[in-house]
């Protein structure tokens, strides 16, 4: 059972359906890092969907919020060009590459819409699902998140490690994070404001999305392969990402070591007692090199491991304690005024 799925009879959700604005302004948040190859195809496909949504009266207007996460290719230049030509919204240029999680936070603080949709630039999040997401929002859900039904575009290795991660996370953390949901989702303004209130520097967005709560709906979809350009993840990055996520949402590993340590200490104490009594009754014996070595090696291993575990949390405390901003913006390029569907500037 999906923990974040709201009860269909949810009281608040019903109230929301009555108070929703008739035609919301939609902001589309797109983090981009070295995406020059996909920008034009992304814009034309997404634009078509959004124009249709305006024409059919689903939304009043839309804006793009591109966050250039320190691209080293022509991404920023191309986007600024398209924005000044006929694309409504803005380009937020970060001062260097801060990573997708930070870029999303930057995007969230630059949206003006009543609702926001988060899309990857590589068209792995199919834009035509936006229609269904808006329907979900109208039905009172503040979060409509995409769930990958089939991960066949991923390798077996990636699928099984991802599955293990979700089981581990949901087993240990006190929040329920839906499996196979990425950042692709529609969120209400209320959720945007909620996310912006979270002060932590470690932005494990999937976890933060789950943490804020609100009536949420899952929208299954098939995730296509990246359209052009190349992905930026490798296993080492994913592994570290998983550790960041786990340590940000649960202190259970520390507790496991507490109980593990207590058990080992109790056994050690009992054995020591036994040895003392044996020496008192029968005198001391010299042999015992093997057992001594085993004990020394075993316990020093356990100690190093537990110090490492504590270190992970101390490192996180260190990072949070510095209170550095999550990202720095070097420039904001404003595009055209809000589009009314035809892309013409409102005068
Ligand atoms: N991205 C980013 N900063 C980074 C890495 C990626 O803003 O440091 C953006 C990237 O441009 C894309 C999205 O995040 O729009 C997803 O990236 P990618 O396709 O590499 O990830 P995957 O689809 O494998 O999750
Ligand atoms: Mg991708």
Domain at 15, CATH number: 3.90.550.10
Contact indicator for 172, 252 with CB cutoff of 8 Å: yes
Answer yes or no: is 239 within a domain. no
The answer to whether residue 339 sits within a structural domain is no
Residues 158, 215, single domain; the answer is: yes
Q: Does 280 fall in a domain?
A: yes
287 vs 67, 277, 298, CA distance in Å?
68, 17, 19
Task: Show Cβ contacts of residue 204 under 8 Å, excluding neighbours closer than 6 positions.
Answer: 101, 241, 244, 245, 248, 249
Ligand 1 residue neighbourhood (C-beta within 6 Å): 31-33, 35, 69, 97, 99-100, 103, 120-122, 124, 226, 231-233
Helix (H, G, I), strand (E, B) or coil at 195: helix
Query: Could you tell me if 310 and 164 lie in one domain?
Result: no
Q: What pLDDT, on the 0 to 100 scale, is given for residue 50?
A: 95
Q: Supply angle C-alpha 312, 314, 317, rounded to 5.
A: 115
pLDDT of residue 343: 44
DSSP state for residue 127 in the 8-state scheme: G
The preferred substitution site among 122, 123, 151, 223 for testing ligand 1, maximizing ligand atoms within 8 Å of CB, is: 122
Atom number, ligand 1, closest to the C-alpha of residue 229: 19
Residue 342: predicted pLDDT: 46
Q: Which atom of ligand 1 is closest in space to residue 124's alpha carbon? A: 23
- Say what the pLDDT of residue 133 is: 95
Residues 298 and 330 placed together within one structural domain of the fold: no
pTM recorded for the entire structure = 0.78
Q: Are 335 and 344 in contact (CB under 8 A)?
A: no
- In a shared domain, residues 49 and 196: yes
Shared domain for 180 and 295, answered yes or no, is no
Answer yes or no: do 119 and 137 share one domain. Answer: yes
- Predicted pLDDT at 344: 45
Same domain, 215 and 278: no
Q: Which of 102, 15, 103, 41 is nearest to 229 (CA)?
A: 41
Our mutation pick for probing the ligand 1 site, out of 30, 31, 97, counting the most ligand atoms within 8 A of Cβ, is 31
Given a cut of 50, the residues of the chain with pLDDT beneath it are 1-3, 341-347
Specify if 208 maps to a domain: yes
Domain that holds residue 315: 252-322
My answer on whether 34 and 145 are in the same domain is yes
Residues 74 and 14 in one domain: yes
Spatial CA neighbour of 108 closest among 9, 21, 192, 40: 192
Distances (CA, A) of 210 to 2, 33, 201: 12, 25, 17
Residues 111 and 198 in one domain: yes
* Together in a domain, 37 and 67: yes
Q: 254-310 pLDDT, tens per residue?
A: 888 888 888 888 888 888 888 888 888 888 777 777 778 778 888 887 888 888 888
For the chain, what percentages of helix, strand and coil (3-state, to nearest 5) are there? 50, 15, 35
Residue nearest to atom 11 of ligand 1 (CA): 32
Rounded-to-integer distance, Cα 248 and Cα 205, Å = 11
Q: Total structural domains in the chain?
A: 2
What pLDDT shows up at residue 169? 85
Protein residue closest via CA to atom 8 of ligand 1: 99
Beta carbons of 187 and 113 less than 8 angstroms apart:
no
- Same domain as 269, residue 137: no
Residue 119 lies in a domain: yes
Average pLDDT, the chain: 86
The span from the CA of 162 to the CA of 217, in Å, is: 21
Q: What's the pLDDT at 338?
A: 66
């Amino acid at each position: 059972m999906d923990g974040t799925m709201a009860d269909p009879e949810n009281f608040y959700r019903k109230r929301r359906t009555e108070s929703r604005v008739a035609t919301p302004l939609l902001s589309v948040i797109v983090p981009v890092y070295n995406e020059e190859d996909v920008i034009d195809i992304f814009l034309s496909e997404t634009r078509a969907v959004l124009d249709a949504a305006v024409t059919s009266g689903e939304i009043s207007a839309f804006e793009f919020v591109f966050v250039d996460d320190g691209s080293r290719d022509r991404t920023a230049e191309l986007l600024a060009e398209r924005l000044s030509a006929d694309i409504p919204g803005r380009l937020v240029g970060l001062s260097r590459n801060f990573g997708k999680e930070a870029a999303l936070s930057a995007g969230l603080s630059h949206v003006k819409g009543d609702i926001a949709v988060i899309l990857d630039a590589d068209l792995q999040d199919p834009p035509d699902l936006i229609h269904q997401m808006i329907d979900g929002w109208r039905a009172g859900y503040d979060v409509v998140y995409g769930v990958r039904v089939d991960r066949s575009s991923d390798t077996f290795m990636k699928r099984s490690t991802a599955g293990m991660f979700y089981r581990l996370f949901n087993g240990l953390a006190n929040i329920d994070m839906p499996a196979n949901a990425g950042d692709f989702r529609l969120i209400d303004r209320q959720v945007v404001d909620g996310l912006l209130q979270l002060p932590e520097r470690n932005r494990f967005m999937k976890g933060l999305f789950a943490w804020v709560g609100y009536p949420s709906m899952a929208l299954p979809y098939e995730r296509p392969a990246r359209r052009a350009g190349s992905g930026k993840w490798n296993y080492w990055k994913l592994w570290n990402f998983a550790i960041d996520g786990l340590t940000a949402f649960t202190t259970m590993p520390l507790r496991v070591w507490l109980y593990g340590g207590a058990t080992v200490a109790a056994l050690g104490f009992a054995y020591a007692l036994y040895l003392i009594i044996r020496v008192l009754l029968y005198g001391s014996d010299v042999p015992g090199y093997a057992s001594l070595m085993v004990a020394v090696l075993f316990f020093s291993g356990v100690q190093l491991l537990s110090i490492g575990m504590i270190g992970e949390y101390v490192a996180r405390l260190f990072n949070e304690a510095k209170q550095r901003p999550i990202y720095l913006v070097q420039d904001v390029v404003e595009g055209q005024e809000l589009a009314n569907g035809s892309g013409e500037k409102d005068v």
